Amino acid sequence: MKPVNLKRLAEELNLSIATVSRALQDSYEVSAATKERVRALATALHYEPNAYASSLRRNQSKTIGVVIPKVTNHFFALAINGIEEAARQRGYHVLIYLTHDDYAREVAIIQHLKGGRVDGILMSVASGTEDTAHIRSLRDANIPLVFFDRVRSEIATAQVTTNDYESSYQATEHLLAAGCRHIAHLLISNNLSIGRNRLQGYRDALHAHGLPPDPDLILAGTMNNEQNVGRLQDLMQHRPDIDGIFASVERLAVSAYHVCRQLGRRIPEDVKVVGFSNLESVSLFDPPLTTITQPAHDIGREAARILLQAVEKKRAISPSQSVVLNSELVQRRSTATA
Amino acid sequence: MKPVNLKRLAEELNLSIATVSRALQDSYEVSAATKERVRALATALHYEPNAYASSLRRNQSKTIGVVIPKVTNHFFALAINGIEEAARQRGYHVLIYLTHDDYAREVAIIQHLKGGRVDGILMSVASGTEDTAHIRSLRDANIPLVFFDRVRSEIATAQVTTNDYESSYQATEHLLAAGCRHIAHLLISNNLSIGRNRLQGYRDALHAHGLPPDPDLILAGTMNNEQNVGRLQDLMQHRPDIDGIFASVERLAVSAYHVCRQLGRRIPEDVKVVGFSNLESVSLFDPPLTTITQPAHDIGREAARILLQAVEKKRAISPSQSVVLNSELVQRRSTATA
DNA sequence: TTTATTTACGTAAACGTTTACACTCAGCTG
DNA sequence: CAGCTGAGTGTAAACGTTTACGTAAATAAA
């Protein structure tokens, strides 16, 4: 079967390729009658333009790349939803790349994307990333970038984040108000700004209420989940005075539940727990988990919106376009007072 | 700044574009010395080949498309993980498209993909899809396709599924053994083969144990979750004799929990619940949910493996390459006997 | 009428690769 | 020494679009 491309259409209609191309783009240079003829045949033959030829010629791919640590984190799944929604509305495609929080993978992915495969990149940085030269190099390649959630502020571009500091402050105060005095903080990673912001909110809230900081109560998570559980177990056993846990990321909140169960610590009677999470089913937990819930869908949509605007207007992205959205503290039984 | 492409490299090295291209592909026609010179400059200038030019010329994009209903379903998130893993290993890229279970969107996406943007497609059919002409048309466009999980057997291609019938039969028997006699079945959709298979496993298990089928106990879910909850509420109120619920999809299991709570029906004392689910945190539910857990990651990896093999060997995919993986029934307290 | 403008279309170059084919020059063979 | 071989490189066409430019005919302005 002969391929159906512009040449084929042109031959069958006795027109030039140029006219057919213009007709399909609804160019004013083509008469209405010709446009009609072309469109009729195009749909009849199920013509679909070759995306690669078009991309090559126009030097734009109508595709954005999304680089995230993992897709099994519900936050990122929701964010992708928002991204895909915004992208589809403008006729853009979405390429997904997973770093698995691994620095080397992130570098390889970014390098690859510099081949012009995408018009822009949305990125949430891997927790294993320390050096950011690979990200900076995107600027030379002229590929616009917008960070979301896990950002690196030393890169001058827009970022879409949540009010991590404030919500951590608020969550910590919530634990304090519930009577907690020895609150452990489970940190996602030292490399990530969201981790640092959340830690700072926790610290400042303690300080504001006259509680001294206790470095032993701060546990930095790793990529290895079993290791996290083990360390948390050690901590809880050595420090029976712990009466509150603030997990700065969903996975660690779940680990906290498991550890409390194993050690026979009752939630919320013995220990109150609050954690960042986007899982809808936390309300079914035993007991329902008090969460800080980020507007994940909106974050994705907003980040995509900023990126696509820049891509289409061919305008550079400045840090001033950054957006901060508010998370919500949802109180459930895991922090209830007797 | 001048673009760094083959032409640029060729000029700086006083070679022809052809030689540079061949050198970078490690062609035997190029002397070792030249290869070395070319490679050195390429890395020095951070040369990255233009993916679109290459795709256009070779007529292959090193990209596969993944078309799924949603990414917020944990099953699909895990499957994407498996797909991305298999794809990356072979140097392929992954485009994600979400149908949101909407037929029209699915048609538009498939039509778009026929433009040659992808070398192959992995697909889980939308529950809203009845007619499959758009899927069949992929064959004419010569784009290989592999189904996973939500398949349409009338399309002659490979499919990766789980033993839905057997695990449903087993889950139903598990409820029967726990003493249930009036088991409701929450169905995902009448359009999907997985729904039908799961329903059939439920029916046959009942029949094998001498229980008559009761159509009133079969509730077909819709895309509207609130509606599902409402209907389930009605059902549970009209039929206080219901002592078991078998949810054929995660979302409906969660809804069942909510409804039982609202109506004050205790799990597992009054009603026992089992559901398909890939959520790891079901063990934290109140009570922990007995699940049929699908090997989602393996499903994705296997489907991608079959597809990529066909793409690389330029070989058609036959239904005989289909794979059936086994799900696992994980017993937890939601089906415990007193 | 001549000249300018507009309308509708065609010609051909370009995007960056890949690759069939041609070519040159050593080093051989007979 | 003519003819051949093969290693290494170059020339140019091709992939399917888009688009700057050219052009012919029709219309409007002079």
Which chain B residue lies closest to A62 (C-alpha atoms)? B117
Quick check: A50 and B286 CB within 8 A?
no
A307, A146 in Cβ contact below 8 A?
yes
Please calculate the CA angle A210-A214-A218 and round it to the nearest 5 degrees: 125
Q: A22 CA, C11 C1': separation in Å?
A: 15
DSSP state of B284: G
Q: Which two tokens stand for residue A209?
A: 């209420």
Mean pLDDT of the B166-170 span: 98
Which chain A residue lies closest to B89 (C-alpha atoms)? A105
Q: Which of B116, B137, B284 sits opposite A50 (nearest CB)?
A: B116
Tens-place pLDDT, residues B131-159:
999 999 998 888 999 999 999 999 999 99
Other CB atoms within 10 A of residue A107 CB: 19
Q: Across the A/B interface, how many CB contacts are shorter than 8 Å?
A: 131
Mean pLDDT of the A260-288 span: 95
Q: How many angstroms separate the CA of residue B203 from the nearest CA in chain A?
A: 29
Q: Which percentage of chain A shows pLDDT scores above 70?
A: 100
Q: Quote the mean pLDDT of chain A.
A: 94
Q: Please say if the pLDDT value at position A1 is more than 80.
A: no
CA torsion, ordered A262, A263, A268, A269, to nearest 10 deg = 140
B238, B263 in Cβ contact below 8 A?
no
The lowest-confidence range among A100-109, A164-173, A221-230 is A221-230
Mean pLDDT of the B203-226 span: 92
Q: How many angstroms separate the CA of residue A203 from the nearest CA in chain B?
A: 29
Quick check: A111 and B48 CB within 8 A?
yes
Name the nearest CA neighbour of A208 among A170, A246, A243, A241. A170
Q: Which two tokens stand for residue A144?
A: 């616009």
Quick check: B281 and A279 CB within 8 A?
yes
Which residues of the protein are close to the nucleic strand C, CB under 7 angstroms?
A: A 14-19, 29-31, 33-34, 53, 56-57, 59; B 3, 5-7, 17-18, 21-22, 24-25, 47, 49-50, 53-54, 56-58
Confidence band, pLDDT 50/70/90 cuts, at residue A191:
confident
Name the nearest CA neighbour of A182 among A155, A145, A140, A212. A212
Residue count of chain B: 338
**pLDDT of A314:** 82
B96, A31 in Cβ contact below 8 A?
no
C-alpha span between B44 and B59 (Å, rounded): 29
The secondary structure of chain A, three-state, reads CCCCCHHHHHHHHCCCHHHHHHHHCCCCCCCHHHHHHHHHHHHHCCCCCCHHHHHHHHCCCCEEEEEECCCCCHHHHHHHHHHHHHHHHCCCEEEEEECCCCHHHHHHHHHHHCCCCCCEEEECCCCCCCCCHHHHHHHHCCCCEEEECCCCCCCCCEEEEECHHHHHHHHHHHHHHCCCCCEEEEECCCCCHHHHHHHHHHHHHHHHCCCCCCHHHEEECCCCHHHHHHHHHHHHHHCCCCCEEEECCHHHHHHHHHHHHHHCCCCCCCCEEEEECCCHHHHHECCCCEEEECCHHHHHHHHHHHHHHHHHHCCCCCHHHCEEECCEEECCHHHCCC
Which chain A residue lies closest to B259 (C-alpha atoms)? A284
Which residues of the protein are close to the nucleic strand D, CB under 7 angstroms?
A: A 3, 5-7, 17-18, 21-22, 24-25, 47, 49-50, 53-54, 56-58; B 14-19, 22, 28-34, 53, 56-57, 59
Show residues of chain B in contact with A138, CB under 8 Å: none
Burial code of A168-178, b = ≥16 C-beta within 10 A, e = fewer? bbbbbbbbbeb
SS3 call for B119 = coil
In this complex, the residue with its CA at the shortest distance from the C1' of nucleotide C10 is A16
Q: Please say if the pLDDT value at position B338 is more than 80.
A: no
In this complex, the residue with its CA at the shortest distance from the C1' of nucleotide D15 is B57
Quick check: B116 and A52 CB within 8 A?
yes
Q: Which two tokens stand for residue B99?
A: 């149908």
Which chain A residue lies closest to B1 (C-alpha atoms)? A140
B119, B132 in Cβ contact below 8 A?
no
Confidence band, pLDDT 50/70/90 cuts, at residue B221:
confident
Q: Which percentage of chain B shows pLDDT scores above 90?
A: 89
**pLDDT of A44:** 95
Q: B29 CA, C30 C1': separation in Å?
A: 28
Quick check: B280 and A97 CB within 8 A?
no
* Domains of chain A in sequence order: 6-49 (no CATH), 61-161+296-325 (3.40.50.2300), 164-294+329-335 (3.40.50.2300)
Quick check: B96 and A114 CB within 8 A?
no
C-alpha span between B259 and B265 (Å, rounded): 8
Q: A21 CA, C9 C1': separation in Å?
A: 12
**pLDDT of B325:** 98
Q: A29 CA, D24 C1': separation in Å?
A: 15
- Quick one: how far is CA A241 from the chain centroid? 36
Quick check: B49 and A115 CB within 8 A?
yes
Mean pLDDT of the A238-252 span: 94
* Axis-axis angle for helices B74-89, A74-89 (nearest 10): 80
**pLDDT of B315:** 85
Mean pLDDT of the A250-260 span: 94
A121, A113 in Cβ contact below 8 A?
yes
Which chain A residue lies closest to B5 (C-alpha atoms)? A115
Q: Please say if the pLDDT value at position A127 is more than 70.
A: yes
Q: Quote the mean pLDDT of chain B.
A: 94
Show residues of chain B in contact with A116, CB under 8 Å: 48, 50-52
A320, A157 in Cβ contact below 8 A?
no
Show residues of chain B in contact with A81, CB under 8 Å: 70-72, 98
**pLDDT of A115:** 84
**pLDDT of B1:** 67
